[in-house]
C-alpha cells in the first residue's frame, strides 16, 4: 500500500498538469499539504512497524523531527525535479508542503500523547488545534484563487476593478510587472500600476475572463500614463478569441495615444471588436484574452489601469 501511495504521489507531483488554468493550478495546490502530510505519516508508520516504540517520549519526538526534515527536503527536490518534466517550481508549493508536514507532525503528537499519556489531554488538544491551523494556512491561497475564479463570472460585465489583491493572479506580464495601488482609481479605491520596461512590446494580458461577450456593446478601460513620460505613448488594446491564429493580425487591436499625466477613458466599440481581425470576424461568444501592449516605450515607465468593463444593452 505504501508503494502504491508513493507511486501515485510521484505521478501527481511530476507529471505535467492537464489543466493549465488558474482553477486547475489551484486544485493541484490544494493537494500539496494533505499529500505531504500523508507521506510523512506513512513513513512514520512504516518506521514504527520495523522498529516499534512502546511509549511516547524523546524517541518518538526524535523520529518525528527526523522524518519532518527528510520529507521537507524531499518536497524541495520534487519541486526542482518538476522543471525537468515541463512543470515549474513554485516557492508557495514548498511552503504548502512544509505546512502539511508540520500539521501531520502535530497530529501524530496529539494521537500519541492521547494514547500513552491520557492525563495530558491538554497537550493533545493543543497539538490538534495547531494541526488544524497549519492546514488552514496551507489551503488559504488555493481557496482564495478558486473564489476569485468564481467571482470573475459574478462580476461581469465588470472585467477587472483591482479591488482585491488576488485579481493580480488573473494577469500575465511580459517585460513588465503589476501591483495594486490607490492612485488614479476610477472604479472603487484601487487600480493596477502596470510597470513597463523600455523593450519592444511590453504587454499585460488578462488570461482569465468571461468567455461569452455576445451582449457586449463596447469594451472600455481607464488608463493614466506616468506624468514623467517624455512623450506621447502608443497603447494597443487587444481583444482575442479562442480561434486566433496569432496575437497580432488575427485579433481585435486598436491603438490609443496616451498623454502623460492624463487619465483617459478608452473605448472599443462592438463593431471594432468584431471586425478587428484582418481576414475574419472575431467570435464574441468565445473570448479568451484581453491584452494591453505599450509600443516601444522610450524609457521605463508606468501606466495606472482601472475599470476594465464590457458595456451591454442592460447598462
Residue 6's pLDDT is 65
Range of the domain at 277: 158-312
Q: Give residues with Cβ within 8 angstroms of 162, minimum separation 6.
A: 168, 180, 185, 188, 190, 191, 192, 305, 306
What is the band of 244 on the pLDDT scale with cuts at 50, 70, 90? very high
Choose between 173 and 147: higher pLDDT: 173
Report the domain count for the chain.
2
Q: In this structure, are 148 and 6 located in the same domain?
A: yes
Q: In this structure, are 173 and 294 located in the same domain?
A: yes
**Distance (Å, whole) CA 26 – CA 152:** 15
Question: b/e for 9-24, b at 16 or more Cβ within 10 A?
Answer: beeebeeeeeeeebbe
Q: Which residues pair with 64 in a beta bridge?
A: none
Helix/strand/coil percentages in the chain, nearest 5: 45, 25, 30
Contact 145, 151 (CB under 8 A): no
Contact 235, 297 (CB under 8 A): no
Q: In this structure, are 124 and 189 located in the same domain?
A: no
Residue 13's pLDDT is 65
**Distance (Å, whole) CA 301 – CA 314:** 37
Choose between 15 and 96: higher pLDDT: 96
Q: In this structure, are 165 and 56 located in the same domain?
A: no
What is the band of 15 on the pLDDT scale with cuts at 50, 70, 90? low
Q: Which residues pair with 303 in a beta bridge?
A: 194, 225
**pLDDT tens digit string along 281-296?**
999 999 999 999 999 9
Residue 83's pLDDT is 75
Q: In this structure, are 181 and 300 located in the same domain?
A: yes
DSSP 8-state assignment for residue 230: S
Q: What is the CATH number of the domain that holds 180?
A: 2.60.120.260
Does the pLDDT at position 236 exceed 90?
Answer: yes
Mean pLDDT of 259-283: 96
**Distance (Å, whole) CA 220 – CA 122:** 59
> What is the model's pTM?
0.74
Q: Which of 122, 155, 188 is the last residue of a domain?
A: 155
**pLDDT tens digit string along 71-100?**
999 889 888 887 776 667 778 889 999 999
Q: Give residues with Cβ within 8 angstroms of 58, minimum separation 6.
A: none
Amino acid at each position: 500500500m505504501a508503494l502504491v501511495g508513493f507511486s501515485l504521489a510521484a505521478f501527481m507531483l511530476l507529471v505535467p498538469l492537464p489543466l493549465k488554468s488558474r482553477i486547475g493550478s489551484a486544485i493541484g495546490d490544494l493537494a500539496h499539504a494533505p499529500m505531504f502530510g500523508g507521506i510523512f505519516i506513512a513513513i512514520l508508520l512504516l518506521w514504527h512497524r520495523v522498529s516499534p516504540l512502546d511509549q511516547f517520549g524523546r524517541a518518538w519526538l526524535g523520529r518525528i523531527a527526523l522524518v519532518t526534515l527528510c520529507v521537507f527536503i524531499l518536497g524541495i527536490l520534487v519541486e526542482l525535479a518538476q522543471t525537468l518534466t515541463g512543470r515549474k517550481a513554485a516557492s508557495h508549493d514548498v511552503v504548502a508542503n512544509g505546512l502539511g508536514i508540520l500539521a501531520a507532525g502535530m497530529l501524530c503528537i496529539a494521537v500519541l500523547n492521547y494514547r500513552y499519556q491520557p492525563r495530558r489531554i491538554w497537550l493533545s488538544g493543543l497539538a490538534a488545534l495547531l494541526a488544524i491551523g497549519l492546514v488552514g494556512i496551507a489551503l488559504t491561497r488555493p481557496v482564495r484563487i478558486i473564489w476569485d475564479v468564481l467571482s470573475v463570472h459574478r462580476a461581469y460585465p465588470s472585467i477587472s476593478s483591482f479591488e482585491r489583491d488576488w485579481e493580480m493572479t488573473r494577469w500575465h506580464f511580459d517585460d513588465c510587472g503589476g501591483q495594486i495601488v490607490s492612485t488614479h482609481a476610477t472604479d472603487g479605491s484601487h487600480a493596477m500600476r502596470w510597470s513597463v520596461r523600455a523593450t519592444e512590446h511590453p504587454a499585460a494580458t488578462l488570461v482569465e475572463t468571461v468567455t461569452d461577450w455576445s451582449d457586449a456593446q463596447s469594451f472600455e478601460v481607464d488608463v493614466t500614463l506616468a506624468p514623467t513620460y517624455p512623450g506621447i505613448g502608443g497603447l494597443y488594446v487587444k481583444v482575442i478569441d479562442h480561434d486566433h491564429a496569432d496575437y497580432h493580425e488575427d485579433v481585435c487591436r486598436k491603438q490609443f495615444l496616451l498623454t502623460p499625466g492624463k487619465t483617459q477613458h478608452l473605448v472599443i466599440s462592438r463593431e471594432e471588436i468584431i471586425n478587428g481581425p484582418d481576414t475574419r470576424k472575431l467570435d464574441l461568444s468565445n473570448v479568451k484574452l484581453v491584452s494591453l501592449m505599450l509600443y516601444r516605450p522610450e524609457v521605463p515607465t508606468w501606466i495606472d489601469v482601472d475599470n476594465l468593463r464590457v458595456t451591454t444593452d442592460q447598462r
